[in-house]
Amino acid sequence: MKSSSYYFKVRNLVGDLSDPKFVSGALSNTASEIINILNPEYYYLVAQEILTGATDAVNNIVVVTDPLDSNKQGFTFENDKILSISVKGVGANGSDVMYRRAKRVDSKWIDFIRNGDSLLAPTSQEPVFIRKGKSVWVYGIDTPNNTNDFLKVQYVSYPSLSYLDNYGTGIFPEELEPALIMGAAARVRLKELSEIDDKITTTLGTTIGGGGLSGANTQLANEDLAYSKAYLEEHNSRVQEMLAQAQAHSVSTQRAGQKYTQLMGEIDKLSQNFYTNLLPYIDGKVNEKIMQSGSKDG
């Protein structure tokens, strides 16, 4: 039996949607949020491994050169959750190809790493890498050869999801999909809430205008009672029209306020279910903050 699409899963929670494509962004943003609060123990659920190197346009890898050491090259890699980097090299027998795991080192040690006479200088048997900005710098090797299998990189992958993707097909880890749907549905409701908020904050755009009463007072001072009375009657008609508009606006605002309260309640429930589904998988410190926030709200 074919699995339901993410769109229908979300629609089952929030009803028909005027803009189904909005769900794609809601899903992708929720997926990123889930990944960012995952316990690192569960990164394997969203990990990806690639072979890359000096000319890898597919994975958007670009070579950069160390300005203080032209023999050393790095690679731009925008993902900030790198799990491991292994460097292609020659085995102990001098012929077999093998990948050696590079140790991550804090960038503050860069001067020692660059210095071949330093006790901290890496070797081809024990390569290291550092992160500077969006670049990855690998040391302890000769100048990287120009191949796309020079580095083996394992990193956390942030997916771009579509509302047409099917639930339970491995597009996103099945363990995390219940939370994914809850979070996306909450974002849909937040969008609706912002639209209601716009309606509530819209003010009545009609004003009385004109000289009105001041003009009538002038006529009264001139003892032109007939003209003053006619002017006041016209002005009174404007006031009555405004009162009718204000009443209609008040009714509309009350309805919007009731809808606002309803949506807030739904968002609260969806958010609670979102975190409940994630409890086994999120970082302990994040969980502690969520619990503290929940106790304050209560």
182's CB contacts (< 8 A; 6+ apart) are 13, 270, 271, 273, 274, 277
Is 211 a residue whose pLDDT tops 50? no
| Mean pLDDT taken over the chain | 78
- pLDDT computed for residue 209 by the predictor: 41
Q: In angstroms, rounded to a whole number, what is the distance separating the alpha carbons of residues 72 and 144?
A: 8
Is 88 a residue whose pLDDT tops 70? yes
Is 70 a residue whose pLDDT tops 70? no
Is 192 a residue whose pLDDT tops 60? yes
**Sheet order of strands, 47-52 included:** 47-52, 151-156, 82-90, 97-104, 128-132, 135-139, 69-76, 62-66
> In a 3-state reduction of DSSP, which class is residue 83?
strand
Q: Is 102 left (phi over 0), alpha (psi -120 to 50) or beta?
A: beta
H or E element, residue 47: strand 47-52
- Find out whether 73 and 54 touch, Cβ atoms under 8 Å: yes
Average pLDDT on 182-204 reads: 78
Least confident of 79-88, 212-221, 228-237: 212-221
Note the pLDDT tens digit of each residue in 98-151. 888 988 888 787 777 776 667 777 777 788 888 887 788 888 775 556 677 888
* Neighbouring C-beta atoms of residue 114, cutoff 10 Å: 16
- Find out whether 81 and 155 touch, Cβ atoms under 8 Å: yes
Average pLDDT on 235-245 reads: 70
**Which spans in the chain are helix H?**
6-14, 22-37, 110-114, 177-201, 212-221, 225-278, 284-297
Q: Which amino acid is at 282?
A: I
Is 214 a residue whose pLDDT tops 70? no
Share of the chain above pLDDT 90, in %: 26
